[in-house]
Amino acid sequence: MGRVRWQDRIVIAPDLHHGDPCIKGTRIPVAVIVGSLADGMAPEEIREAYPQLTGEDIQAALAYAAEVIHLRSAARSNRSLRRWPGGFVLAPPFPRRKR
């Protein structure tokens, strides 16, 4: 199975849950899903607690978290990020100016 496109299932809107990323069509924050998995809940238990979620929603939450970590890690290593439709991509670092 390939990675779920989180952009199809997660929305970030200032008027929805204070701008926290949530599963589209719900008020369930990604952080609740990822935190529940980190606490040892199985995806089936999360879906029992939140019946409106699908397995793909849970995978999308993990894919979103993975991309956020990747982008923050890349930003710390002084690589530049470029915005492309559907997300960010890493671009080669800009050459440093000689002084």
Q: CA of 58: how far to CAs of 6, 74, 89, 99, in Å?
A: 10, 24, 23, 49
Residue 94 pLDDT:
47
CATH code 1.10.10.10 for 6-91: yes
Ranges under pLDDT 70 in the chain: 1, 74-99
pLDDT digits (tens, 9 = 90+) for 4-16: 899 999 999 888 8
**pTM > 0.85:** no
Q: How far apart are CA 42 and CA 39, in angstroms?
A: 9
**What pLDDT shows up at residue 17?**
83
Note the pLDDT of residue 87: 56
